[in-house]
Structure 1
């Protein structure tokens, strides 16, 4: 997209909205504007299937009357005064929330770091189309590929404007570019599919369309002629980095302050205790330059700092917004994210830090096991930690990947998995959740 978001007009409208809310009877208020611009092209079998372009400016006003809160949303062109009055009227008849309110004023950011989140490269629809076609051509050129799932390319930008009644006013914007391709290999009931993709803040950092397509095709071909393997207990399962990110996501969910406050996390009583294998660290850093999930301030106006959430296996922090922190008797650590009209704690640039051995050495150390490349279903109970998911991948025999495997289920409990995980050294930090190849001992595998 050609130009960075100019926040001046949006800041002015947000400031007016907050002022009008106070005049209408609110004790506190904040206004948020989320602006997005995107353009994308999808192709299949050498032809354009869709070209999409979208623009939106979404305003949200949150007002507080005592411990009562209400939120309203609107599109551009709305009547500021009417919206503010409606929000206050709604708040007055809402039930009290003892934990609601703006962030503590002393914690507000007064200056913002430059995180280099915006690339002004203007990518035309023709360029997006050409990239998508190139990715699909590369996938279809792989020997064994028989059909295409299509390919796509997109470019976009987004911005956040936040104004609060207790003195915060700020904005930031970021860009996003992506490419993806999917391929089908084989014929009839023996068909297998796979995909590949890349997503970056800077256009020049993207993997080439040809490389993405080739990887998609090769992944699909590798999955041909899968077998089932024998049911077993105490199986070592190795997670490819693509699925290991989901594993780290389960850790993030378990240490989310909102889940802890609701008592829906199996780690809710484990602060200060060992929850991961000794020597392992989970970090979260919102201030990574060009980081996929970086932000100079959170959805409440607080600049979060890098935290080691789990250090040497010991749980040190929850992800906290102001309301979740108050409910737990703590102080926010700048992890509040705006989701529509609400604020919830989330991770930023989250990573399970890598180990010292290569993925090849890790697989060799396993001997016999199962290497997972794809997961199916959502069989994870975050209250108990019970874990059971469909999986496909490759058999590990004598320390090497051998034949493809499908239609198996792997099961354990996340509490046990966390204590039995060994990371390799191959971390890729380009996504908001980063993980290396991971080996987890002692899992149950249900096969034939």
Structure 2
């Protein structure tokens, strides 16, 4: 297990944070740093057809080792980390034989990872936890997935007695900013189906996700001297506050769960003359999703009418859709993953993703792509952690999927 831990640490100490405000591919130059390391490593362990294209997409092949036809399958993870929290100078900390008590991440700043707040910690009592030092994210999302895929391919190469068909692997940039699958060449990948290794808790197996849109609200005000402002000044920040209050206060991420959708204000930048709000709009049900987008626009229309002008501009862009529609016709690919987990003693946790993965977009591009756990928790922040044992379990599941796919093709 130490080998996969070392591999994971090597990846997370390379900063690959993406940038939502840059339309380039990749959105940050530093994603190339990990991409180049991975290309060398994939060649070193013996994979074939290793490619890195001009947009930072990596693909590689593990050839079949059987003499009968087996569907080509794929495994996919993303190289970037979230722009929500810094990924610079990651210093992982190790906590062997975790005892279920509070973990002091940073004594100087009194940053504590506590099971009283993060109850999932107790799932990993007795295991080796890998955490941050409280000043960065960890990067398990999704460098855990990369480490697991590479380790599984290496294991299959070193154990030719395990029979499998052709396997394709793919690593994408910019998943965290919603672009990970935009330039993914499904035809070049050439798999009948694939799995993203991008879930959280051990056992997660997901083939439903949010329908997603981004909403940009621009409020135009008017600045004059505050001493002479009566009847003249228009404070865009005050109007922004009215817009925020116009949406349901309980339909936000911190008050919803399961299949409940939400409006999430994730960025606000304003002065008197101009304020911009950035929202994400989410719902699993397509009809409710469309109603949410309509409701979002109606709040702006109502305020514009009350204000007697078009001071509020709204731009809504769809980002991705629920992959369930594309997975249900080929549910055998979920069944294989479920069986692969059971073979290593894992009880599958089949549930809807309260988010999205590259797999949701890839499914609509013709590559059905359920999502499997990578093992990390508390993504996108200083409290992120993963159990070393989870890295190994996910690796074992990948190996089992490869073997089961071949066995079922006989």
Q: TM-score range by the shorter chain?
A: under 0.3
Larger-Rg structure: 1
Greater strand fraction, Structure 1 or Structure 2 = 1
Structure having the larger proportion of residues in helix:
2
The structure whose RCO (Cα within 8 Å, separation 6+) is larger is 2
Q: TM-score, normalised by structure 1?
A: 0.23
